[in-house]
Amino acid sequence: MAAAALTIDGLSVDFEGFKAVNQVSMVVDEGELRVLLGANGAGKTTLMDLISGKTQVTGGRVFLYDTEITNWEEHKIARAGLGRKFQIPSVFKELTVRRNLEVASCKNPGVFANLRFGFGAAAKRNVDEVLELIGLTEQADQVAAYLSHGQTQWLELGLLITQNPKIILLDEPTAGMTQAETHKTSLIVNNLRGRHTIIVVEHDMAFVREIAERITVLHLGQVLAEGSVEEIENNPRVREAYLGSKGIS
């Protein structure tokens, strides 16, 4: 039986009387790919903020495996093994794609200053593997400023992967992408399945259908339903609150 990688126990946040997240509990197993669905204002991104330490919890607890990380500082949670990709990508635009990944893979900032003296064979292999995984091998020597929107998003995902986090949080990874870029992103995410525990916040239903194993639906800051794509599609409460009569399409 898989270990619980992330346990959320009765998590809440109160903004001057408004409960943006209200008593949310969820267990995500090691290696699982979980999708968070919900209309705007349902509490999805706020929940990610609480897990990653960006926003302080006012009630409940968060565990990374057996370690409670509730209200830890963001950098300490990141160091413990939780990586997050935001909607707006943040990469080193003046560096090449490969150099971006090399910088990200350096645990010690002092190592980057000495990169010109050589980069270890194992580290080079790791960067090459990540380039292949995110589909940017041909763009390895291109300056990041000249990448397309989709390629920039994939590079930022690559920066996360090189740091090998136990859990990856992806906040609307296909926002602003073309249909082709969205499909390629689903292939990348599916290739990460099992290597990392992944939680994805997403609106694009076609993308959700391509990646989802288990879905948690949030509504007005609370868990409305949880299950497979088919179970969520056929849940009358979800249809009423979010999906409408069309289902996930």
Q: pLDDT over 70 for what percent of the chain?
A: 90
Measured distance CA(241)–CA(140) in Å, rounded: 44
Measured distance CA(18)–CA(156) in Å, rounded: 33
Measured distance CA(47)–CA(192) in Å, rounded: 22
Class of domain 1-81+192-249: alpha beta
pLDDT in tens, 5-29: 999 999 999 988 888 999 999 999 9
**Number of Cβ atoms within 10 Å of the Cβ of 244:** 9
Backbone angles phi, psi at 213, to 5 degrees: -100, -55
pTM here is 0.88
pLDDT at 108: 57
Per-residue pLDDT at 117 exceeds 50 = no
What's the average model confidence in pLDDT over 113-134? 77
Q: With contact defined as beta carbons under 8 Å apart, do 157 and 187 qualify? A: no
Per-residue pLDDT at 30 exceeds 70 = yes
pLDDT class of 109 with cuts at 50, 70, 90: low
Query: Tokens 């609307």 appear where?
Result: 172
pLDDT in tens, 184-238: 999 999 999 888 999 999 878 889 999 998 999 999 999 999 999 999 988 999 8
Per-residue pLDDT at 34 exceeds 90 = yes
Per-residue pLDDT at 179 exceeds 60 = yes
pLDDT class of 170 with cuts at 50, 70, 90: very high
- Residues of each domain in the chain carrying CATH 3.40.50.300: 1-81+192-249
